[in-house]
Amino acid sequence: MKPGFREKLLMGFFGLLLVQGLVIFLWFSHAMKASVLDEIKNRGVSTGTSLAVGLVEPMLAMDYLRMKVLMDETTRLGNDIFYTFVLDPDQNILAHTFNSGFPVELKRVNPLNGAGPSSLKLLDTGRQMVYDYAIPITVNNDFLGTLRLGLSQTRAEKVVNQVLVSTIIIILLAIFLAGLVGTLLVNPLIRSVKKLHDSSEQALKGNLDVHTAPTLDRNCWDIMACNREECPAYKNYHHRCWYLAGTLCPTCVEGEYAKKIQSCQHCRVYRKCSGDEIQSLAESFDAMTLSLRGNLSDLKAAEKILNEQKARLQTILDAIPDFISLQDQDGRYVSVNKAFCQILGKPRNEIIGRFNQDLFPPDAAALYNEEDRRILSTGTPLEKENQIKGPNGIKWLHVVKISVSQKTDRPKGLVCSGRDISMLKAVQDQLTHAQKMESVGSLAAGVAHEINTPLGIILGYGQLLLEDVNSEGQVYKDVEVIVKQTKICSKIVKDLLSFSRSNKSVVTDFDVHGALEEVIAVVEHTFSLNHVSIHRGFHGAPLSMKGDKEKIKQVFINLLNNAFDAIDTHGKIYVTTGSVKSGREIRISFIDTGCGIKKDNLVKIFEPFYTTKGPDKGTGLGLSVTFGIIKEHRGRIKAYSPPKTDKTLARGTQFVVFLPTDSN
């Protein structure tokens, strides 16, 4: 855990004091030690010089006793004086303070040449360190001898160490006292800072009703005795009046803090109630939270309105069947409606914030990005029809993209709206198909009319030739082939005429079950030879309708023949009928167990001349004629492969015909 402000402050404070104390101690101790040693050395010189002066008279008088007494007294008075002795100019000892003989080596270690300046050397006696002074004894520059004085450096060091210990204690005491005073001074500051921190945390949590600054005993209404209860500062114990807008004090300048503080500083309320910088900070913080609370209330109200408008707008957008999206200037989707989500098959939260490359295949995304870039750079709207493959199949969309302009040069984004025109496209296709069929029908009718007559002549002459030639000969066989093929052509022409509705209809009321039985009776035997059985599932009641019975029977024959062709051998054909739409429509279903039709081919099977059968097995007009007859009767026909109503069949085809009971 990192140290807090208080710990850092105190650590820094004590650290600084410690470093300062250490530096002061080392410098002071160094200077003091040098000073004390210098003082001791100077004292040695001073004592020695004094003694040397005092020794002049005894030396002149050769009074050895006085010399000895003087030196003994000096040694006795100075606790740290180790020894003294006097040498004459010939280096003979005149007097000394040693009790048991004079140390021989001592005489030569600190020689003094003539009456020059004194000499100081540090001697190591083995037991202690001694400062040895050699001081000349002179009278009027005449050299009488040398005074040697030994001052114990060990004792001097002891004195220095005592002073150093005292210094350390004083410095430590000073640091402790400074720390104590610093702590006492820092504590209120830390408390104030902590209170500010707590208040700011409360504010961050949303509680803006914090009171950081201390309350005052007397505030403006009390000091000024104004009794203006309508003033916002009146009886406000937590905020100083100069932080409050709209106060009624006559000396106040109207407005917020920045405007009125200058006038307030001359007011006696300010002089009495303003505190130190920390209190000012706490008061500013309280005023800031007060102001923030007001601003937040306004913001929340505005946010509420905005949210309502946003929800309303989203509802409107979602209610629009067209898809709508809004992208920002970088191509990021920022808003979409429900229809857009449905087209993409993704929820809104998976679309918002994404780009084209996140939502579309790479090729489509690249195309859309290029379009977006061009629109954003040129500002030219884009309108196009777009085919997309969605989860529900292929769809056609009419898309419009418009850049959203703003005051700056660069567009703010672009809006894309699109409409599903798949139904329109289907209707267009059907219309086109109907027009094509109508054209084909007209063409076929014209051709059939022109071809029917020569075919009739060819057939007539062919049949005449058959009567004239030997039925066993080759000619007969050849003519017979011509007659047979001519009949086929005649049948085609007849179908073409039927497809083009060129032949007239005979409308009667008839029973659909009866028509079905008539047709089944014709083909059932033939089918059974190929092991194809027909199973009936007729409605319980007769299903009567108004229409051309023969054409309806042709529809049934075509559908049964197609089922038989799909089965080839060994299969079943289920024929069922029903009444739908409250008896207003008859439903006839043909299900075979044949090879079935590929899904891609299902949409083409009603086109003229389209067949999946082999050569010489179909003309491609059966289902087209069937489609035309049913359409003529205002009915519908649908094809399913595999069958829709019988899930037990994995293969096969089901044709369902819906015929109105009254085709008129």
Partner 1 sequence: MDLRTFFLLCMALILAGCDDNEHAISVDLSRTEQVIFRETPDVITYAYLPQYSHRVSYTRHQALVRYLRKETGLNIRQIFPDNFDQHMKMVGDNKIHISFSNPFIYVKIARRYGAHAFARIVEATKKETFRGQVITRTDNTAIQTLGDCRGKTWIAVDPTSAGGYLFPLGHFFSHGITKADFKEIAFAPGPGGKQEKVILSVFAGKYDLGTIREGALDVVAGKIDVAKIRIVSRTPTYPGWVYAAVKTLDNKSLDKIRTALVKLDFNQKDHREILEAANFVNVIPAMDADFDSVRQLTGRLGMEMDQ
Q: Quick check: 302 binds partner 1 (CB under 8 A)?
A: no
Toward partner 1, which CB reaches closer, 157 or 371?
Answer: 157
Instruction: Single out the residue of 74, 50, 73, 32 nearest to residue 159, CA to CA.
Output: 32
**Site map (CB under 8 A) of partner 1, residues 126-145, x = contact:** x--xx--------xx-x---
Total chain residues near partner 1 (CB under 8 A): 40
Least distance from partner 1 to the Cβ atom of residue 244, Å: 44
Task: Please tell me the distance from the alpha carbon of residue 202 to that of residue 211, in angstroms, as a whole number.
Answer: 10
Instruction: Single out the residue of 318, 311, 352 nearest to residue 334, CA to CA.
Output: 352
| DSSP 8-state code for residue 243 | G
Least distance from partner 1 to the Cβ atom of residue 129, Å: 6
Q: Which of 109, 305, 431, 506 binds partner 1 (CB under 8 A)?
A: 109
Do the Cβ atoms of 415 and 325 come closer than 8 Å? yes
Least distance from partner 1 to the Cβ atom of residue 293, Å: 42
List binders of partner 1 among 138-197 (CB under 8 A): 139-140, 142
Toward partner 1, which CB reaches closer, 22 or 301?
Answer: 22
Tally the C-alpha atoms within 13 A of residue 511's C-alpha that lie toward its C-beta: 9
Least distance from partner 1 to the Cβ atom of residue 57, Å: 5
Q: Which of 11, 23, 334, 522 binds partner 1 (CB under 8 A)?
A: 23
Least distance from partner 1 to the Cβ atom of residue 157, Å: 11
Toward partner 1, which CB reaches closer, 58 or 652?
Answer: 58
Toward partner 1, which CB reaches closer, 107 or 501?
Answer: 107
Window contacting partner 1 (CB under 8 A); options: 105-113, 378-386, 429-437, 444-452: 105-113
List binders of partner 1 among 331-360 (CB under 8 A): none
Do the Cβ atoms of 566 and 596 come closer than 8 Å? yes
Q: Quick check: 101 binds partner 1 (CB under 8 A)?
A: yes
* Secondary structure element (H or E) that encloses residue 586, with its range: strand 585-592
Task: Please tell me the distance from the alpha carbon of residue 603 to that of residue 625, in angstroms, as a whole number.
Answer: 16
Toward partner 1, which CB reaches closer, 53 or 451?
Answer: 53
Pairing of strands 142-152, 81-87: antiparallel
Is the bond preceding residue 454 a cis peptide, omega within 30 degrees?
no
Window contacting partner 1 (CB under 8 A); options: 22-30, 526-534, 601-609, 631-639: 22-30
Toward partner 1, which CB reaches closer, 13 or 355?
Answer: 13
Task: Please tell me the distance from the alpha carbon of residue 343 to that of residue 391, in angstroms, as a whole number.
Answer: 8
Between the alpha carbon of residue 428 and those of residues 51, 387, 511, 603, 659, the distances in Å are: 140, 15, 36, 15, 24
Four-residue CA torsion sign, 251, 254, 256, 259: negative
Q: Which tokens go with 375? A: 């629109």
Q: Which tokens go with 617? A: 């097995």
Least distance from partner 1 to the Cβ atom of residue 101, Å: 3
Q: Which of 104, 225, 258, 529 binds partner 1 (CB under 8 A)?
A: 104
Residue 473 phi/psi, 5-degree rounding, is: -85, 170
Least distance from partner 1 to the Cβ atom of residue 23, Å: 5
Q: Which of 4, 5, 7, 19 binds partner 1 (CB under 8 A)?
A: 19
List binders of partner 1 among 42-71 (CB under 8 A): 56-57, 60-64
- The secondary structure of 195-226, three-state, reads HHHHHHHHHHCCCCCCCCCCCCCCCHHHHHCC
Q: Which of 3, 103, 454, 542 binds partner 1 (CB under 8 A)?
A: 103
Window contacting partner 1 (CB under 8 A); options: 3-11, 30-38, 237-245, 463-471: 30-38
Toward partner 1, which CB reaches closer, 98 or 176?
Answer: 98
Q: Quick check: 29 binds partner 1 (CB under 8 A)?
A: yes
Task: Please tell me the distance from the alpha carbon of residue 450 to that of residue 446, in angstroms, as a whole number.
Answer: 6
Task: Please tell me the distance from the alpha carbon of residue 655 to that of residue 557, in angstroms, as a whole number.
Answer: 13
Q: How many residues does the chain have?
A: 664
Least distance from partner 1 to the Cβ atom of residue 62, Å: 7
Return residues touching partner 1 (CB under 8 A): 19, 22-23, 25-27, 29-30, 33-34, 56-57, 60-64, 93-94, 96, 98, 100-106, 109, 121-126, 129-130, 139-140, 142
